[in-house]
Amino acid sequence: MRVAVAGVLACTVATVATAQGATSVTNPPKTQEYGVDAGASFGLGDRSSVRLTLPATRARIGFFLPNDSRWSIEPAAAVAYTKVQDVPYQFDYNLELGALYHFAAPSRLYDATRARVAYLRPFIGCVGLASGGNDSGSDNEFSAGAGYGVKIPWRQNMAFRFEGNAGYGFDNNALRLGAFAGVSFFARR
């Protein structure tokens, strides 16, 4: 009898917990995610490459859609300017636009006691460089790809973020594999 009561009670609790997890929690209007990421990328193609950038390779701002708790639009940018005496300057840039689909309501990230939230991030981007001096010129390339990652709550309104991604550069026909590790801060205006 005790086993039967315990079984019924466990099934009831599991059903209620499942029903509560399935409800949609909408984000408050104008919720934003600010973050920075360290990164590594490996280019495979006509011109192979390896790039490791620490402590931060890019900055990003995510704008959660107000009526859908699972989607956000996220532009990201990285710029670098290098000038050494007697050597021409070099200006590098990387601009990206992604759309994140969260597999659970991201509002769970506002509370550090909540579980992690996985996401899928398709993106498009433009990367390039400009240089000065006698061999001045510029080169840029458009790319597209997707990443899969996880946001792990750390403190109130803060989370760690880890992502693996793959993209394709259309100019030099290169497949790029990448990884990001970063931190995010969530703000409600």
Residue 62 maps to which CATH number? 2.40.160.20
Instruction: Please check whether residue 111 lies inside any domain of the structure.
Output: yes
Mean of the per-residue pLDDT values for the chain? 80
Within a domain: 7: no
Task: Tell me which residue of 117, 99, 127 sits closest to 39, measured CA to CA.
Answer: 127
Residue 30 lies in a domain: yes
Mind listing the pLDDT tens digit for each residue in 124-168?
A: 999 898 888 777 778 888 999 999 999 998 888 899 999 999 999
pLDDT at 172: 78
How far apart are alpha carbons 101 and 105 in whole angstroms? 10
What's the domain count of the chain?
Answer: 1
Given pLDDT bands bounded at 50, 70 and 90, which one contains residue 30?
A: low
pTM, two decimals, is 0.76
Domain presence at residue 81: yes
Q: Is residue 10 part of a domain?
A: no
Mean pLDDT of 94-105: 92
Using the predicted structure, report yes or no on whether residue 9 has a pLDDT greater than 80. no
pLDDT at residue 48 in the model:
80
Domain that holds residue 183: 24-188
Report if residue 16 sits inside a domain.
no
Distances (CA, A) of 102 to 17, 65, 106, 132, 154: 20, 12, 7, 43, 18
CA nearest neighbour of 48 among 143, 169, 145, 163: 169
What is the distance between the alpha carbons of residues 145 and 71, in angstroms, rounded to a whole number?
17
Token digits of residue 134: 């006698």
Is 116 domain-assigned?
yes
Is 9 within a domain? no
- How high is the pLDDT of residue 87? 75
Residue 34: CB atoms within 10 Å: 13
